[in-house]
């Protein structure tokens, strides 16, 4: 395997400390892992934005269009276009709120949930193949690091310092 010569270096202007080196290595590894995992998404026949939106709908449940736009960090017209594409594919549906008829919720359909779960299973299998050569101790370290990172992400919303 060819090692990227920039992998150990930091972008200009960042402190040369353990925190920023760890962040740099994680950044590089995460990009490579996501690129590789994305190859399993070909079977889903969804582009990145539609797959991301469907994932939010499946794992977070029905949400108002305005909340979806905020989560996906896109404009309301952009999220409306994405929701429309998922609807036309039979993967999502809009529902009016029973409490406030002005509010429209978007939910994944059964077909949307099934498609996303198949895609997730394919990505997990691909990542498992990547990890297959690791020792039990290395797998525990990767799992522990992933748990720690997941907890940090859950407690720090995007844009917080």
pLDDT digit string, tens, across residues 1-13:
334 444 558 889 9
Q: Domain 45-113 maps to which CATH number in 3.40.190.10, 1.10.238.10, 3.30.1490.100, 1.10.10.10? A: 1.10.10.10
pLDDT of residue 55: 93
CB-facing half-sphere around the CA of 136: CA atoms within 13 A: 0
For residue 37, name the pLDDT band (cuts at 50, 70, 90).
Answer: confident
Output the pTM of the full model. 0.74
Arithmetic mean of pLDDT, 29-37: 90
Indicate the domain borders of the chain: 32-42+117-155, 45-113
Element (H, E) at 73: none
104-108/92-96 β-pairing: antiparallel
- Comparing 87-96, 134-143, 146-155, the range with the smallest average pLDDT is 146-155
Helix locations, the chain, DSSP H: 18-38, 48-60, 65-72, 76-88, 110-131, 136-155
Burial class (CB in 10 A: 0-12, 13-18, 19+), 106: buried
């Amino acid at each position: 395997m060819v090692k990227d010569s920039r992998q150990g270096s930091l972008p200009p202007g960042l402190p040369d400390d353990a925190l920023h080196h760890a962040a740099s290595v994680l950044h590089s590894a995460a990009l490579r892992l996501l690129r590789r995992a994305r190859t399993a998404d070909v079977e889903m026949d969804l582009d990145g934005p539609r797959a991301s939106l469907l994932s939010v709908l499946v794992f977070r449940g029905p949400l108002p269009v305005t909340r979806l736009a905020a989560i996906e960090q896109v404009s309301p017209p952009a999220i409306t276009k994405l929701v429309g594409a998922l609807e036309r594919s039979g993967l999502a549906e809009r529902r009016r709120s029973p409490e406030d008829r002005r509010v429209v919720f978007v939910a994944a359909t059964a077909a949307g949930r099934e498609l996303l779960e198949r895609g997730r299973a394919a990505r997990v299998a691909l990542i498992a193949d990547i990890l297959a050569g690791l020792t039990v101790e290395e797998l525990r370290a990767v799992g522990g690091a992933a748990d720690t990172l997941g907890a940090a992400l859950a407690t720090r919303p995007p844009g917080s310092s």
